[in-house]
């Protein structure tokens, strides 16, 4: 028997496999036993009703998909009155993902959402372009990340997970800022900004022009970020980006992730979410691991490669980038 349980701060998960925000709904109970998941992560909710972005909102890529959904939501009232009770029919902890345009509203939303007894964790989506003024993205700047996280931290004693953006120039600095402001865990990460053009129509393939890329193509980039961030922070890091099979889960954990979230693959093959849990137990058993948590950060660092990596130039500089909402 392999112990698949992991701890994300004070939150105990029976296994490290969770759906990513925006990729999951309780309708999936038709094709899987939702109670087997490590946690349930809801679609991002904001205060007001949002209609979302113009269609088409998604397009296929060779390496995954590009989306700009625009965070459609019926708003916080509907979420608390209808969606949370729907999730509460299932046993895994519920992670509510919140978005806001200002630090004030993030704080107020946190108070309201965290007050619901069936919400176990607040995931802070600062990695979509909701910031007012400017439609920017809080997770592109250390100071914005710090300020928002600090306000959220002050508004609840429930665990706060901050979801970072791979579009930040220096994702490590952003992760450190979130930790210093009191985050309990980091989710690395949201989608990578991209553009697909339809060469028959000469128009962007999706209605909002730019979109966020997810799926297998982004995996090595996010694995690298998970590794870099987890080396610098003490809080747990949750890996998210392009996970399609059990080997990807293992790779993220070796890089430093304590748990993972799956998005793209749910659209391709929803039931794989649960199949991967069994495959993870099998993978550990075959290799003699009694606890999956032993994999976290177990990548062996070659000292020579480390010396070269330390001398390399920093990857990008923090600059403002417009990132479409997922
Ligand atoms: C259609 C779609 C909708 C998404 N909606 C959200 C969302 O509401 N909130 C959020 O934080 N991330 C959202 N994401 C990003 C995913 O949660 C995840 O971070 C990203 O897709 C990378 O994981 P993947 O490569 O496994 O898909 C969305 C992604 C997709 C593809």
pLDDT digits (tens, 9 = 90+) for 1-53: 999 999 999 999 999 999 999 999 999 999 999 999 999 999 999 999 899 99
Asked if omega into 133 is within 30° of 0 (cis), the reply is: yes
Which residue has a Cα nearest atom 12 of ligand 1? Answer: 21
Q: Is 244 a catalytic residue?
A: no
What integer is the mean pLDDT of 215-241? 98
Query: What confidence category does residue 154 fall into, taking pLDDT thresholds of 50, 70 and 90?
Result: very high
pLDDT, average across residues 228-235? 98
Q: What letter would DSSP give residue 302?
A: P
**What pLDDT shows up at residue 39?**
98
Q: What are phi and psi of 20, to 5 degrees?
A: -85, 150
Burial class for 27, CB neighbours closer than 10 Å (0-12, 13-18, 19+): exposed
Is the separation of the CB atoms in 324 and 165 below 8 Å? Answer: no
**Which domains are assigned to the chain?**
6-53+70-195+213-311 (3.20.20.70)
- How far does residue 19's CA lie from ligand 1's centre (Å)? 9
Closest CA to 177 of 214, 152, 205, 208: 152
Q: According to the model, what pLDDT value does residue 128 have? A: 82
Could you tell me the pLDDT band of residue 305, with boundaries at 50, 70 and 90? confident
Does ligand 1 have an atom closer than 6 angstroms to the CB of 44?
A: yes
Cα of 285 to ligand 1 centre, how many Å?
31
Place 124 in a pLDDT band, splitting at 50, 70 and 90. Answer: very high
For residue 216, what is the DSSP state?
G
Ligand 1 atom showing the smallest separation from residue 125 Cα = 11
Pocket of ligand 1 contains residue 296 by CB under 6 Å? no
Ligand 1 binding pocket includes 272 (Cβ within 6 Å): no
Please tell me the pTM assigned to this model: 0.94
């Amino acid at each position: 028997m392999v112990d698949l349980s992991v701890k994300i701060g004070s939150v105990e998960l029976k296994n490290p496999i969770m759906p990513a925000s925006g990729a999951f709904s309780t309708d999936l109970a038709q094709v899987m036993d939702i109670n087997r998941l490590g946690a349930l992560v809801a679609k991002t909710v904001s205060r007001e009703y949002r209609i979302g972005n113009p269609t088409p909102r998604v397009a296929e890529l060779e390496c995954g998909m590009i989306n700009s959904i625009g965070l459609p939501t019926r708003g916080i009232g509907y979420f608390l009155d209808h969606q949370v009770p729907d999730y509460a029919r299932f046993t895994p902890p519920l992670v509510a993902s919140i978005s806001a345009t200002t630090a004030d509203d993030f704080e107020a939303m946190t108070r309201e959402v965290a007050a619901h007894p069936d919400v176990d964790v607040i995931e802070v989506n600062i990695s979509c372009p909701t910031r007012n003024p400017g439609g920017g993205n809080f997770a592109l700047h250390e100071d914005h990340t710090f300020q928002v996280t600090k306000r959220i931290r002050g508004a609840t004693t429930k665990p706060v997970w901050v979801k970072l953006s791979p579009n930040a120039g220096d994702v490590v600095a952003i992760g450190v800022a979130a930790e210093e402001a009191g985050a309990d865990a980091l989710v690395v990460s949201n989608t990578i900004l991209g553009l697909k053009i339809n060469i028959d129509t000469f128009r962007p393939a999706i209605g909002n022009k730019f979109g966020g890329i997810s799926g297998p193509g982004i995996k090595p980039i996010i694995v690298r970020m998970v590794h870099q961030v987890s080396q610098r922070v003490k809080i747990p890091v949750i890996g998210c980006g392009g996970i399609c099979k059990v080997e990807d889960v293992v790779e993220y954990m070796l890089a430093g992730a304590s748990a993972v979230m799956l998005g793209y693959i749910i659209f391709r093959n929803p039931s794989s979410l649960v199949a991967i849990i069994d495959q993870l137990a099998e993978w550990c058993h075959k290799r003699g691991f009694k606890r999956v948590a032993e994999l976290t950060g177990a990548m062996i660092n070659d000292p020579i490669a480390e010396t070269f990596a330390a001398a390399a130039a920093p990857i990008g500089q923090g600059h403002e980038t417009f990132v479409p909402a997922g």
